[in-house]
Structure 1
């Protein structure tokens, strides 16, 4: 395999509790068919398949190993390595494990969360093609999502000078902004959302991480050296990995490295971070409702998202609600407040 063959790295360790009650720690959102017949994990794998792409490295929770393997096999995307984290330590250590599992030290790694939506895969691949020459020269590249709203729930990127066709230097990363700052950045037009998708060589990532957070790389190396291996499954040593600091790739690497670039791209991206976000990207009927016609009956109802994986749900004379039924749990709340699901999760934890 030449160094220019891209190795997809799929991060599938999240618990997805913001989409409760359908998404739960034992069956998080990336393993659910929320936006298509395929699950979000399957769709992610299919985006980086074919000529120029190697088999993926998947980083997941050990409790999901069999489900991940079965879902990927069903779409012909058998991973070359399934790295099973003994515990969550955020994205920077997870990617370090993947970099150490890469088939070549300088392999380009395409790091993708497993629970995002990308409607325009051709645009995504065009952006990857633009980034790859810079990556081979040692640049760390992120993909900047063309913003269409003053979003306060995402980090933003200020786009700097163009250094190659379609590739710009990152001027700076901006934390989740207040609404007035987000609106100003949207109006200015020289900013993008930080979508959390990256392309860089494995050795360059480890080099920067080792310089900035040496304890993290040391823990990752020791955990992989002591790992249990069975076929494509890798169980990093739990005691060694537990010693790793917990931090995101943004804080640990991207905000500190010197050669960081961004490829701005409009590709129909969403992180599906809430039921409101799912309503926004779902097909809706003439009354603005997004629902499964087989399990939902809506009369004189407008602007609602209704999902059920079992029981039939009927609505009459209501507007702008989110109604989700899964197993023995039913969630009902106004549209626009679905981020408050986290309050329910916290309350349930307090009650045991």
Structure 2
């Protein structure tokens, strides 16, 4: 039996990251920020697949505006990507992954990871990859189901079916974000996991499924890569060909429609850090339940998140607040309401405010 192929990490870094405004801006989104450690989320993601006995150098699929910063950050941690594929326009994850799949050998195994997630237990993640790999080598499309720790309504769910191999089950269905009562029922039932958006498959298996279920994306991305220009590790897909691609996620375009889809349930300390509340939940807190970064004074204050990259923040006698200060903006809102940041971002877009796009 031949040795298994090395795995090629594909890191998706095209997001604008405005859910963590005002710290995250469209020109410098959250994956390029040091939110949970002394390295950026992109650097932490790349480091999860740094074992060169098992992984090839990564492919990064990113917004062209971020190319210089991505190259600088990876160089700072000694990682040289095999390619940096720069999307001329945003077209969601299904086309982005197709660009990567078209850039490698057909039998290459791709580990697709968003660039802005936290994984606390990398060893558990690697074990799940090992469990899924034999089926992936046979042409299955695999995803990783995150063991839920509560009735979360902000994530999609995966319903696992029959066992295919130890630690791997066939996907029965992908389920949209539920209401709380439905999420509680999922936890009670026990066969549901959060959809974390991390995938493992062969390039040819993904491209075949894309051609079957989303042929317009398959054709547009193939044309975009056929007409791509290259400069060192940077690949620039043909603009008009890629612009012609429909915009769709891998879940809707492929995973929900393909027949041979497997899930590896895994408890690996995962968070998508999709809001200030999510950051509060995974950040160390003091005895009063506060977490703070920067110059902060908090007296008689409980269960707050304070983050300042600029002025001193002082709080007295308050509870359950999120306060984020930069050199040009301050955000204040109740804990539990951080999804409302999108309302602020929408208003900034409507008024054309420079604060939305400014690189601090």
- TM-score interval, normalised by the smaller of the two chains: over 0.9
Q: Which runs of 5+ in 2 are unaligned?
A: 353-360
Following TM superposition, where does structure 1 have runs of at least 4 consecutive aligned residues deviating by more than 6 angstroms?
Answer: none
Distance in 1 separating the partners of 2:313 and 2:36: 19
Choose which of 99, 102, 122 in structure 2 pairs with 1:100.
102
Choose which of 51, 65, 68 in structure 2 pairs with 1:66.
68
Verify the 8 A CA contact 1:3 1:108 in the aligned structure 2: no
TM-fit CA distance, 1:24: 0.5
- Alpha-carbon RMSD across the aligned residues, in angstroms, is 1.1
Distance in 2 separating the partners of 1:151 and 1:135: 29
What is the match of residue 307 of structure 1? 307
TM-fit CA distance, 1:3: 5.9
Q: How does 1:1-352 map to 2 (within 5 A)?
A: 4-50=5-51, 51-102=53-104, 104-292=105-293, 294-352=294-352
TM-fit CA distance, 1:4: 1.6
Distance in 2 separating the partners of 1:123 and 1:343: 37
Q: Deviations over 1:293-347 (max 9, x none)?
A: x411111111000111121111111111000011210000000000000000111
Distance in 1 separating the partners of 2:248 and 2:327: 34
Verify the 8 A CA contact 1:308 1:325 in the aligned structure 2: yes
Q: Which secondary structure state, in structure 2, belongs to the residue aligned with residue 311 of structure 1?
A: coil
TM-fit CA distance, 1:159: 0.9
Distance in 1 separating the partners of 2:203 and 2:132: 15
Q: Deviations over 1:8-43 (max 9, x none)?
A: 000000001000000000000000000000000000
Q: Which runs of 5+ in 1 are unaligned?
A: none
Distance in 2 separating the partners of 1:123 and 1:326: 36
Distance in 1 separating the partners of 2:131 and 2:5: 13
Given the two structures, how large is their TM-score scaled by the length of structure 2? Answer: 0.96
Q: Which secondary structure state, in structure 2, belongs to the residue aligned with residue 261 of structure 1?
A: strand
TM-fit CA distance, 1:113: 0.2
Q: Deviations over 1:186-235 (max 9, x none)?
A: 11111100000000000000000011111111111111111110000001
Given the two structures, how large is their TM-score scaled by the length of structure 1? Answer: 0.98
Distance in 2 separating the partners of 1:93 and 1:21: 29
Distance in 1 separating the partners of 2:288 and 2:217: 51
